[in-house]
Amino acid sequence: MEYRIPEIRKAAELLKSKLDSLEDKRTILRAPELQALYDRIKPLPPGKARADFGKEVNTLRDELEAQVASSKFQTAKLAPIDVTAPFDVNIKPADRPNPLPAKYGSQHPLTAELELILDIFYGMGFSAVESREIDDDYHMFTSLNFPPDHPARDEYDTFVTDEGLIAPAHTSIMQNRVLKTHKKDLEAGKGIRFVIPGRVFRNEDLDARHEHTFYQLEGVYADEGINAGHLVATITAWLSNYFSKEVKIKIQPFYFPFTEPSFEFAASCPFCEEKGCSVCSYTGWIELGGCGMIHPNVFKEAGIDSRKYSGFAWGFGIERLVMLKYNIEDIRHFESANLKFLRQFS
């Protein structure tokens, strides 16, 4: 439809582009831009100009109504699909099932943020290895210096299958694997520098700050002569890079079986320069995660001589960082698949 009146032509273009992204197409008929056109009719002096204006506004409304109706019709016509159905990877891309056109999708905010975080670590000389989503007691506990029946095992509230497999409650399950696999790099004088993103699972009571499934990023650094100063410097460098401003780090003693000494770390609030704001609960500091020097027993389990080599590890939740950055009030949004939430990041 061609609209002769420029104001209406412009509004028509805008409303049609809006219509594409709307989940509930009918809301376009209540759009403020359309209402504004109707509001313009009354003050116009009676005559041909007013009649033409009114006619084109009505035509626009009819056109939008027709588009809303046809979009509903198309939805009803779509054949049901099984998005989990496997297909042969050798099928040509053009012949593969295409359940939803890619233009309607966008990156999940956690994926986007994780890519940004990994880029910073790549620039600092780290490599990345993915965590896994099912594991065993050895990697979840024993390799990390949790003795059998140690009470700290209970603090993780792990999900366990009937066969005794564990849905990992932290990305530290990869520490033993990374150390063991790259022991040869250590002995070749190259050091071990890895970050490990992954999904973790805990049997939590859910609320705005606790979710049963969330993402962590683990870091492992080992070499000769590494001390806690290197740990603080590494975390400071990456967080300053992430928030694009100088961030200070504060550590305080904590307990993890797999690090000695162990710490919790907090960053100076990047949003208020430590003056106090709602993000940092008016303390000037934001608690972010746990860290510490790798325990000699963890090195021993990986076959590494802890008298010669030392190292540090740290871990933090990705959701918490993203929530701080974008002022998101409830962690449950991330796993909700709620399009209204996700589209704010597309």
> Which chain residues interact with Zn ion by CB under 5 A?
269, 271-272, 277, 279-280
* 254 contacts 263 by C-beta, under 8 angstroms: yes
Shorter beta-carbon distance to Zn ion: residue 19 or 272 = 272
**In the chain, at which residue ranges do the beta strands (DSSP E only) sit?**
127-128, 159-160, 166-167, 192-201, 213-223, 249-254, 259-268, 285-294, 310-317
Shorter beta-carbon distance to Zn ion: residue 31 or 279 = 279
- Beta bridge partners, 254, equal 262
Shorter beta-carbon distance to Zn ion: residue 179 or 280 = 280
Cα 253 to Cα 275: distance, rounded to the nearest angstrom? 24
CB of 285 to Zn ion, least distance (A): 8
CB of 239 to Zn ion, least distance (A): 14
Shorter beta-carbon distance to Zn ion: residue 209 or 275 = 275
Shorter beta-carbon distance to Zn ion: residue 269 or 304 = 269
Compute the C-alpha angle 81/87/93, nearest 5°: 95
Shorter beta-carbon distance to Zn ion: residue 31 or 272 = 272
- Helices 6-21 and 48-77: angle between axes, nearest 10 degrees: 20
CB of 280 to Zn ion, least distance (A): 3
CB of 29 to Zn ion, least distance (A): 43
- Beta bridge partners, 253, equal 263
Residue 334 exposed, middle or buried by CB count within 10 Å (0-12, 13-18, 19+): buried
CB of 286 to Zn ion, least distance (A): 7
CB of 158 to Zn ion, least distance (A): 34
Shorter beta-carbon distance to Zn ion: residue 209 or 300 = 209
Which amino acid, residue 2? E
Which of the 8 DSSP states describes residue 283? S
Shorter beta-carbon distance to Zn ion: residue 29 or 279 = 279
Handedness of CA 234, 238, 241, 244 (dihedral sign): negative
CB of 277 to Zn ion, least distance (A): 3
CB of 271 to Zn ion, least distance (A): 5
Which amino acid, residue 141? F
Residue 254 exposed, middle or buried by CB count within 10 Å (0-12, 13-18, 19+): middle
- 143 closest CA partner among 170, 118, 111: 170
Tokens of 52: 């033409």
Tokens of 49: 């100009």
